[in-house]
Homo-oligomer: A and B are copies of this chain.
Amino acid sequence: MRHHRASLGLHPLAPVHDQHAQDGQQDLFWSRVRTTLREPFAEFWGVIIMILFGNGSVAQVLLSTGQAQGAPGGNGFGIWALGVMLGIYVAGDSGAYLNPAITFSNCLYRQLPWRRFPTYFIAQLLGGMVGSLIVYANYISAIDHYEGGHGIRTVPPATQATAGIFATYPQPFVTKASQFFSEFIASTILMFVIFALKDEANMGLAKSAHFFPLMLFFLIFGIGACFGWETGYAINFVRDFSPRLISYGLGYGKEVWSAGGYYFWVSKKSPSGIPMVAPWLGCMFGGFLYDVFIYTGKSPINSPYMGLSHLFHPRQEIRRKIEAEKELHMV
């Protein structure tokens, strides 16, 4: 099992509660599978929960537009935040990143081994797909009703478009540069505040890990309320790409990639690719700002030449890192 976990880039020892680990159930085949895939399962289900609430609430608000009694459940923006919060509780054992750009920043600034990134990323991507499929399955007859016929599926700016349930589409009059800036700054804030919330050395006011999920609720809600209107605030590759892919597969047509002047895709006509690129850069920049101005712990920023010396001696650096990790029994 250690071998399988190591080959997935995971820590050889799975994070299993001591008492449970001694119950002898590890002899069962499936228990071993679950222990081996502990962190990917956690990310997978955490993202599913996030997408179920996020896409589900957009679906409900959109599909009930114009009804006399409206849909139960407010305007749906806070529900993305709620989904993230509950997803964090579900994905407790993996770090609960739920966003590959945040995993990425943790590799870059917080010593999360890079070799874990691919496994986490794939788990997150699959979670986004499964979550949006369930939402589609749930609302299929209501989508038929709203779009005006069985199997009709359209993309904004079509008047009865329902593709917005799955992925983000920008406001038409906002320039590409503003769209990019909006995604970038939203992702920057996201990473900056998460690092602040996770920084136990940022004292002054006692922090409590118990409050982290609740504060993420407020943070995501606030980002949506302040920087969410221009682009629909993806700020997360798997939140946008996975449901977009699913919506493509479900028959919404090629417009899911090209709508909004190739908002998503990097095309020759208009090389934007905003929700695909901006979250990574924003999260990197947000982590950079926090570490430059506030963080006092271990970080490349707090090492000579801000860690960039590693770029000139990559092999040496990698060897050094692996040795350090071996000492910590991380390999």
Query: Which of A5-13, A227-235, A273-281 lies on the face that meets chain B?
Result: A227-235
Q: Are B82 and A204 in contact (CB under 8 A)?
A: no
Interface residues on A, range: 35 or more
Q: Which of A61-82 contact B (CB under 8 A)?
A: 63-64, 70-79, 82
Name which of A189-197, A250-258, A312-320 contacts chain B.
Answer: A189-197
Interface string of A229-263 (1 = CB under 8 A from B): 11011000000000000000000000000000000
Q: Is the CB of B23 within 8 A of A178?
A: no
Please tell me if A297 contacts chain B, counting CB pairs below 8 Å: yes
Whether the pair B225, A141 counts as a contact (CB closer than 8 A) is no
Of A84-92, A99-107, A108-116, A322-330, the stretch lying at the interface with chain B is A84-92
A78 to B210, CA, bound (A): 23
| A2 touches B (CB below 8 Å) | no
Residue of B with least CB distance to A14 = B296
Is A182's beta carbon under 8 Å from chain B? yes
Copies of this protein in the complex = 4
Contact B293 A205 (CB under 8 A): no
Tell me what chain A mostly uses at the interface: helix, strand, loop, or mixed. Answer: helix
User: Is B93 a contact partner of A178 (Cβ separation < 8 A)?
Assistant: no
Closest Cβ neighbor of A181 among chain B residues: B138
Instruction: List the B side residues contacting A311 at CB < 8 Å.
Output: none
A45 located at the interface, meaning its Cβ lies under 8 Å from any Cβ of chain B in the complex: yes
A233 cross-chain contacts in B, Cβ below 8 A: 72
* Chain A 122-156 residues near chain B, CB threshold 8 A: 134, 137-142, 145
Residue pair B17, A296 in contact (C-beta under 8 Å): yes
Whether B89 pairs with A207 at a CB distance below 8 angstroms is: yes
Listed in ascending order, the chain A residues whose CB lies under 8 Å from chain B are 15-17, 19-21, 23, 25, 28, 30-31, 34-35, 41-42, 44-45, 49, 52-53, 56-57, 59-60, 63-64, 70-79, 82-83, 85-86, 88-96, 134, 137-142, 145, 171, 173-175, 177-178, 181-182, 185, 189, 192-193, 196-197, 200-215, 217-219, 221-222, 224-230, 232-233, 292-294, 296-298, 301-304, 306
Query: With contacts A57-B222, A60-B225, A140-B178 known, what are 19 further pairs, Cβ within 8 A?
Result: A15-B203, A21-B296, A31-B296, A34-B292, A45-B192, A59-B226, A72-B228, A72-B229, A73-B221, A74-B75, A79-B225, A90-B196, A93-B204, A96-B205, A141-B174, A205-B212, A205-B213, A210-B211, A214-B214
